[in-house]
């Protein structure tokens, strides 16, 4: 989805996000900025229809307005020459590694992307990632497209083959956690961009707190990127399920309506 928002487009950097509300009665939800075009004053967001807000977002037509959008929030990815970089994107996380892949490649890195989804239909941005990377490996859980298997399998093979300077992963929490487990024995620096629940997104509410290296951090202002090896994954998994029941309830109600 392309959104006209010139101020944000002018400042957005890879790794940053916006917080938006689709409707006045809506929730504030964070979404990563996939692409920003300062000349056209637009940004691109990609969301998977999961909860009510993403469903509402999907129902917005060209020319409609969102109730609000604020950003760019969070620290941008540190873009520099690392050397050999592997980017791992799972599901809608592929959208989030795309701007990072572009920026890192432009900074002279050798970028390998590993992208995966449950099945062929859910794979996004394959063409874009191929363009933005030196090399791109496609995986699917069910084998309906690309290689059959998880992104971590391809990651492990690459790490065994040659020295890598940075791994950057975005996807569902279990995937990011698995990436962390895979990279740890290799001692390779691994960054993840966390998708904690947020309200304001500016450090005011503390909803998005995560434990990293034993310290409490706020994803919105201290992140969203953290050292994967230091993240308390179980806590994040738990905290992201705080409203699962409410979410089911409201989705059922709206589906009926």
Residues that bind other proteins (CB under 8 A): 7-8, 10-11, 21, 23, 25-28, 52-53, 67-73, 199-200, 202-207, 209-211, 216, 218, 221, 232, 234-235, 237-239, 241-243, 246-247, 249-250, 253-254
**From the CB of 204, what's the least distance to other proteins, in Å?**
6
**From the CB of 20, what's the least distance to other proteins, in Å?**
9
Read off the tokens for 232.
């308390």
Instruction: Give the Cα separation of 26 and 15 in Å (integer).
Output: 25
Report the residue number, 40 or 67, with the smaller CB distance to other proteins.
Answer: 67
C-beta separation of 86 from 165 below 8 A: no
Report the residue number, 10 or 79, with the smaller CB distance to other proteins.
Answer: 10
**From the CB of 22, what's the least distance to other proteins, in Å?**
9
Across the beta sheet with 147-148, the strand order is 147-148, 135-140, 110-117, 84-90, 166-170, 190-193, 225-227
Element (H, E) at 7: helix 6-11
Report the residue number, 187 or 214, with the smaller CB distance to other proteins.
Answer: 214
**From the CB of 217, what's the least distance to other proteins, in Å?**
10
**From the CB of 249, what's the least distance to other proteins, in Å?**
7
Report the residue number, 58 or 204, with the smaller CB distance to other proteins.
Answer: 204
Report the residue number, 25 or 160, with the smaller CB distance to other proteins.
Answer: 25
Kindly report the three-state secondary structure assignment for every residue of 29-70.
Answer: EEEEEEEEECCCCEEEECCCCCCHHHHHHHCCCCCCCCCEEE
Q: State how far the alpha carbon of 245 is from the alpha carbons of 46, 51, 79, 138, in Å.
A: 25, 11, 39, 34
**From the CB of 176, what's the least distance to other proteins, in Å?**
18
**From the CB of 253, what's the least distance to other proteins, in Å?**
6
Instruction: Give the Cα separation of 232 and 207 in Å (integer).
Output: 16
Instruction: Give the Cα separation of 122 and 50 in Å (integer).
Output: 13
Report the residue number, 189 or 221, with the smaller CB distance to other proteins.
Answer: 221
SS3 245: helix
Element (H, E) at 8: helix 6-11
Report the residue number, 120 or 246, with the smaller CB distance to other proteins.
Answer: 246
C-beta separation of 29 from 17 below 8 A: no
């Amino acid at each position: 989805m392309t959104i006209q928002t010139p101020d944000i487009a002018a400042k957005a950097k890879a790794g940053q996000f916006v917080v938006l509300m689709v409707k006045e009665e809506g929730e504030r939800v964070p979404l990563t900025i996939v692409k920003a075009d300062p000349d056209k004053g637009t940004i691109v967001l990609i969301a998977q229809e999961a909860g009510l807000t993403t469903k509402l977002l999907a129902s917005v037509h060209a020319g409609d307005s969102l109730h609000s959008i604020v950003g760019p929030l969070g620290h941008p990815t540190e873009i520099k020459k690392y050397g050999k970089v592997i980017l791992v994107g799972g599901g809608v996380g592929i959208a989030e590694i795309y701007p990072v892949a572009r920026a890192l490649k432009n900074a002279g890195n050798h970028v390998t992307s590993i992208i995966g989804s449950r099945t062929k239909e859910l794979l996004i941005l394959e063409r874009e990632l191929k363009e933005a990377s030196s090399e791109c490996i496609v995986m699917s859980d069910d084998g309906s497209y690309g290689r059959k298997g998880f992104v971590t399998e391809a990651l492990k093979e690459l790490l065994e083959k040659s020295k890598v300077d940075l791994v950057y992963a975005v996807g569902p929490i279990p995937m990011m956690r698995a990436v962390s487990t895979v990279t740890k024995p290799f001692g390779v620096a691994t960054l993840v961009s966390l998708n904690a629940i947020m309200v304001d997104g500016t450090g005011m509410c503390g909803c998005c707190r995560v434990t990293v290296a034993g310290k409490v951090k706020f994803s919105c202002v201290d992140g969203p990127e953290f050292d994967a090896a230091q993240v308390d994954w179980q806590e994040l998994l738990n905290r992201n399920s705080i409203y699962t029941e409410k979410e089911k309830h409201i989705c059922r109600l709206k589906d009926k309506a």
